[in-house]
Structure 1
Amino acid sequence: MISKKKLLFYSATIIVATYFLFLGLTKAKGFFAPMITAVILSLIVLPLSQRMERKLKRPLAAILNSLLLFLISIGLMAIVSFQVRSFAEDWPQIKETMEPKIENAKEFALEHTPLNKQDIEEAKNSSSTMDLQPGKWAKTFMSGLSSFLANYLLTFVYIFFLLNYRHIFKNFLLRVFPDEKQQTIKTIIVKSAEVAPQYLLGKLILMGLLAVIYSIGLGISGVNNFILVSVIAAVLTLIPYIGNVIGFVMAVAFGFLTSGDITVLIGIALTFTITQFVESYVLQPYVVGERVDVHPFFVIVSVILGNMVWGVIGMILAIPIMAIITVVLLNIRQLRPFGILFSKKEF
C-alpha cells in the first residue's frame, strides 16, 4: 500500500510539475525564446569562432560571428520580402484571374452543399471585419513589430556574450557538480556542443538538394520566379512539417493563382509530392538522420510541443533542443533509460 501511495504521489507530482513547466515557458516566451535561440545559434557558430580565435582575440571573434549571423538573417528576410512584394505586384492579375473561379466555387457550394447565400455573405463580412477597423489593426501590427524587433536584436546581443564568456558558463557547470562527476559533465558539454552544428550542416545539405529538385519541378510546371520560390520553400523546411505546407501554398500562389491554369496546379502538386517522398525516405534519413540521435516519434512530439509553447520559433528549435536533451540523458546513469527511450539507436 505504501509503495502504491508513493507511486501515485510521484506520478501526480511529475504531471503537475510538467504542466507548470510548460505553462511557465509559454508565459515567459519573451525572455526564454531569444535566449534559447541565441544558445543554439552560438553552438552552431562555435567551431568557426574557435578557429577565428587562433588569430583574433575572443571578443573580436564573437562580434564577427554575431554580425555574420545577423547578416545571414537579414539576407533571408530580404529574400522573403522581395517575394512578398512580387506577390503584391501580381495581386491585381491574380484577383482578375481567380474571380470567375471563385464565383464558380460559390455556385457549386450553393448547389451541392447545405450552404445558402446568407451563409456566404456572413463569412465574407466576418473576414473583412479587420478592414473596417484600420486603427485597431495598425496598433496590433506595430505592437507585434516592436516586440519582434526587440527580441530579434536581443538575440544577437546574447550570442556575443555567450561566445565571448562561454568559459564562465563551462566553469560554473563543472563547479556545481562534485569532482567524481567532472568527466561526465565534460563529456555532456562536448557532445551537446556538437549536436547543433551537425544538425545545421545536415539541414543545409538537405536544403540545397531540395532547392535543386523544387527548381526543376516548379520550372517545368511554369511557376513564376520558380528559382526564388524553390529556395524559400527549401529554407522553410527548417520548420518541420509545417514549412512544407507553407512552401506548397506559396508555390500555388505564384503559379496557379497567377496563371489560372489547372496544369500548373497539377505540376506543383506532383513536384511537392515527389519531393516530400524523396526527402522523407531518402534524403532525411541519410543526410540529417545520421547527425541527430532522436527517434522520429519524439521528433514529432517535440515539434508539436514546441508549437504549443512558442509557436513557429518553438518548432524550429524543437529538434536541436530534443537532441541535446537526449545527449544529456544518455550520459547520466540514473536517467539513461529515458535517453534510450528518446534515442533512435538500438542499445
Structure 2
Amino acid sequence: MEINFPKYFKYTIILLGLVLLIWFLQTFKSILVPICFSGLFALLLVPLCERLERLRLPRPLAILLCIIMVIAFLAGLIWLLSSQLISFVQELGTLSDKVNEYIQKVQTFLLNNFGIKPTNGREFISKNLGTLQQTGTSILSGTLSLTTGALSVLTIIPIYIFFMLFYREHFRRFMFKFITRDKRDTLMLTIDNIQKVVESYISGLLIVIVIVAILNMTGLMIMGVPYAVFFGIFASVLTIIPYIGILIGAALPALYTLVQTGSAVQALIVIGIFAFVQFLEGNFITPNITGSKVSINPFAAILALIIGGEIWGAAGMILSIPIIAILKVLFDAYEPLEPFGFLLGDIKSNSDKPDVFSKLSSRVRTILNLKKEKDEQDKAAK
C-alpha cells in the first residue's frame, strides 16, 4: 500500500536532509576531505594507469608509478612557490617605505593641483593599509599552517589513491549488486560515459590552468616583474572563478608593480597582460580544450566556491568546481534531475547542439524505452 504524503511534508523532509548532509560534511571533514582529494586524483590517473597496464606492467606497479609522478610534480610546484613566497614576504618590510613615499607624491600632486591638504602618510598606512610586514607574516604563517595540515594527510591520500585504482572494477561490481541483471548493461554504459566526460573536463581544466600560468609568467617576465612565477601561477589558479578570479589575480602583481616602480603606466600594462590572457582563455583556450562537454555558469561556480569554503574551508573551495562539474554530469545523465543540470550549465552550452555525451545519454534512454516496450509486448503475448 502506497502512502501519499503532502507536498509540504516532502519539502520539509528534503530540507531536513540537506541540513543533516551539511552537518555530516562538517563533522566528518577530516575523513571526507582526504577521500575526496583521493577520488579526484584517482579519477585523473585512471587513463594513465590503463595505458601503463596495456604495456603489460602489473597493476600495483603501474599505480605506484602514477602516484610517484603526481608526488614529484606537486613537490616541485610547492618548492617553487614556497621559495618565491618566502622571498616576497621578506621584501614586504622594505616596501612599506616605498608605499609611504608614493603616497606622499600623490598628496603633493593633489595639493599643488587641487589644493587638498596632505595627511600624515605613515598615519594613513597604519590606519588604512595596516603594517605590510604584519600582513606578510600572517600570510606566511597561514600558508605554513595549511602546509602542515596537508602534510598530516600526505601519507593517507596515496594509500587511498592506490586502493581506489586497484579495486576500481570491484567497486563497479559492488554497484551492480543493487541493479537487476537486465539493467546492468545500461548502467555500465552510463557509468563509462560519466567517467569519460568527468575525466576529460578535469584534465582539460588542469591543462588550461597550466597554459594560462605559462602565458601569465611570460608576460610578467617580459615586463621584468619580480616573482613572475608566483604571480603567474597564483592568477592562473584563480581563473576557475569566472570574472572575479582575473580581477583578484591581476590586482596583486599590479599593486606590487605600482609600489615597486611608482609608474601607474606599468601597473596598467600588467593589468592589460592579464586581461589579454583572460580573453585568450575564455575565447580560444578553454573552448578548444574542454569544449562544451561540461560548462558551468559563473553564478553556479561562484556559489559553489562560497558554499565549499563555508563547509570545508580552503579545501572546499578547491574541490567545489570539480564536484559541481561531476554533479552536472550526473544530473544530465539522470532524466528526472536533468532540469538541475540545465540550471548549472552555461547559456552558451545549453543553446549549443548536443555533444557526444548528450547523444550517448539519449541513446541509453532509447534502449531503455525499447526494452520496456519489448517487455510489455512479451507480457501481452503471454
TM-score, L = length of structure 1:
0.79
Change (3 A) 1:241 1:67: farther
Change (3 A) 1:269 1:183: same
Name the structure 2 match of 1:72.
73
Corresponding letter in the other structure for 2:22: F
Aligned counterparts, 1:252-263, within 5 A: 252=254, 254-263=256-265
- Aligned Cα root-mean-square deviation (Å): 3.9
Change (3 A) 1:154 1:310: same
Aligned counterparts, 1:90-105, within 5 A: 90-102=91-103
Name the structure 1 match of 2:9.
9
The structural deviation recorded for 1:156 is 2.0
- Which is further off, 293-302 or 187-196? 293-302
Count of aligned pairs: 336
* In structure 2, distance between residues paired with 1:318 and 1:43: 16
Aligned counterparts, 1:246-257, within 5 A: 246-252=248-254, 254-257=256-259
* In structure 1, distance between residues paired with 2:214 and 2:328: 33
Change (3 A) 1:299 1:51: same
Corresponding letter in the other structure for 2:57: L
Change (3 A) 1:120 1:93: closer
* In structure 1, distance between residues paired with 2:210 and 2:146: 32
SS at match of 1:152: coil
Q: Is the 8 A contact 2:294 2:329 kept in 1?
A: no
Aligned counterparts, 1:180-199, within 5 A: 180-199=182-201
* In structure 1, distance between residues paired with 2:344 and 2:271: 34
Name the structure 1 match of 2:27.
27
Corresponding letter in the other structure for 1:97: K
Work out which of the residue numbers 187, 200, 203 in structure 1 matches 2:202. Answer: 200
Change (3 A) 1:253 1:30: farther
The structural deviation recorded for 1:268 is 1.4
Name the structure 2 match of 1:211.
213
Change (3 A) 1:315 1:340: same
* In structure 2, distance between residues paired with 1:341 and 1:187: 25
* In structure 2, distance between residues paired with 1:76 and 1:25: 29
Name the structure 1 match of 2:58.
57
The structural deviation recorded for 1:97 is 1.8
Change (3 A) 1:88 1:147: closer
Change (3 A) 1:68 1:20: same
* In structure 1, distance between residues paired with 2:145 and 2:87: 26
TM-score, L = length of structure 2:
0.73
The structural deviation recorded for 1:321 is 1.8
* In structure 2, distance between residues paired with 1:142 and 1:25: 25
Query: Which blocks of at least 5 consecutive residues in structure 2 are unaligned?
Result: 355-382
* In structure 2, distance between residues paired with 1:271 and 1:140: 29
The structural deviation recorded for 1:56 is 1.3
- Which is further off, 311-320 or 231-240? 231-240
Corresponding letter in the other structure for 1:300: I
* In structure 2, distance between residues paired with 1:166 and 1:243: 35
Corresponding letter in the other structure for 2:327: I
Per-residue CA deviation, residues 284-312 of structure 1 (Å, 9 max, x unaligned), is 34433424254454333333322322233
SS at match of 2:155: helix
Aligned counterparts, 1:1-347, within 5 A: 6-54=6-54, 55-102=56-103, 123=127, 145-226=147-228, 229-238=231-240, 243-252=245-254, 254-343=256-345, 344-345=349-350
- Which is further off, 212-221 or 54-63? 212-221
* In structure 2, distance between residues paired with 1:258 and 1:21: 48
Per-residue CA deviation, residues 15-65 of structure 1 (Å, 9 max, x unaligned), is 222233123213322211121111111111100001112221111111111
Corresponding letter in the other structure for 1:151: V
Change (3 A) 1:38 1:8: same
Corresponding letter in the other structure for 1:172: F
- Which is further off, 75-84 or 151-160? 151-160
SS at match of 1:311: helix
* In structure 1, distance between residues paired with 2:325 and 2:340: 13
* In structure 1, distance between residues paired with 2:141 and 2:228: 35
* In structure 1, distance between residues paired with 2:326 and 2:140: 40
Per-residue CA deviation, residues 101-141 of structure 1 (Å, 9 max, x unaligned), is 35567998xx989x999x9698479x67x97xx9xx99998
Per-residue CA deviation, residues 74-122 of structure 1 (Å, 9 max, x unaligned), is 12111211211331453354233222235567998xx989x999x9698
Query: Highest Rg: 1 or 2?
Result: 2
Change (3 A) 1:260 1:122: closer
* In structure 1, distance between residues paired with 2:57 and 2:5: 60
